[in-house]
Amino acid sequence: MMLSLRKLRQLVALADEGNFTRAAERLGMTQPSLSRSIAELERSCGLRLFDRGRLGVTLTTAGSDLVADGRQILGRVAAIEQNLALQSRGDAGKVALGVGPLAASYLMGRLLQECLGRWPSVKITASIDTTSALVERVLDGRLDFCVVAANSLQPNPALAVTKLATFKLGYFVRAGHPLATATTSLTWSELTPYPRASGKTQPGSEPALQAIFGPLSATVECDDYEVLRQAVTQTDAIWIASDRLLQRELAEGLVKEIHPRPGRALQAELALVRLAGRSQHPVMRQVIAAVSAIMRST
């Protein structure tokens, strides 16, 4: 016996209507064709599924059991079909992404608001980690893509790298900091008495950090930018960060930018990294487009 979805739909329609003519109209077929189809099913399984009477049909015990199972199967099929339709439009599905600490602080809150508002059925899994750890997860397929600092990427032909945005970096202190009222550039020696905060550096990158703080070294390295934000606004620490992360604090006068000399232009370039040659499913395209739009905004 071959019990198809078409047969299940016929059984459920006849059970609902209790009448071959009405059930056939609902299914878009003729009454004789429906009668033959149900009779063939009963013969093939060796069971009477409906009792026929002058006023219509009623389910037998075997028919009731089969129709109950059929309703569950048809409901599951309908859910699968709906999910496939949503996924084909990018309105449902899953995406796993990774972000470095700087990108997380600037991007993730806005991205989640965008996704929850526009695609409530999309499941997003986000990881915050170092560039090397996130790239490894992209390479082995655990992440669909990641957004990391481009200057810490190692060349790899297996990866497709798309530049997203360049963040200008500067030195920031709280409004009441002893250096906050300086009207001219500060010497490195004037920064010496105060703790200095930065994101956590990759192993072996101490020379790069010294280039950031001149002859000084960082006192605190932390990948949680929200923690650094709180620490800098409540202590005398000097934080190297982007003004994009401090728009509200700068506008409200809670932090000030200072300018050590000899100065140098500091910047962080963020890039989106994914596997080269891998096709993007609709949900992934939607989320990547949202990431790009946020990164382009000021």
pLDDT along the chain (298 residues), means of 10: 84 91 92 92 90 90 90 81 60 81 87 88 86 89 90 86 89 92 83 85 55 71 85 90 87 90 75 87 86 84
pLDDT at 189: 86
Which residue spans of the chain are classified as CATH 3.40.190.10?
Answer: 93-163+271-296, 166-269
Pair of tokens at residue 38: 């149900």
Greatest alpha-carbon pair distance for the chain in Å reads: 103
pLDDT at 207: 54
pLDDT at 162: 92
pLDDT at 210: 56
Q: Selecting from 3.40.50.300, 3.40.190.10, 3.30.420.40, 3.40.630.10, what CATH number does the domain 166-269 have?
A: 3.40.190.10
Residue 275 bridge partners (DSSP): 159
**What's the CATH number for 5-89?**
1.10.10.10
pLDDT at 22: 93
Phi then psi for residue 94, to 5 deg, are: -130, 145
CA distance linking residue 37 with residue 41, whole number of Å:
6
Helix pair angle (31-45, 20-27), 10° resolution: 100
Question: 210 vs 101, 112, 145, 291, CA distance in Å?
Answer: 20, 35, 31, 32
CA distance linking residue 220 with residue 237, whole number of Å:
9
Per-residue b or e along 234-272, where b marks 16 or more CB atoms closer than 10 Å to that residue's CB: ebebbbbbbebbbeebeeeebbbebebeeeeeeebebbb
pLDDT at 292: 92
pLDDT at 211: 60
Q: Are 260 and 188 in contact (CB under 8 A)?
A: yes
CATH 3.40.50.150 correct for 93-163+271-296: no
pLDDT at 149: 86
Which residue spans of the chain are classified as CATH 1.10.10.10?
Answer: 5-89
pLDDT at 194: 92
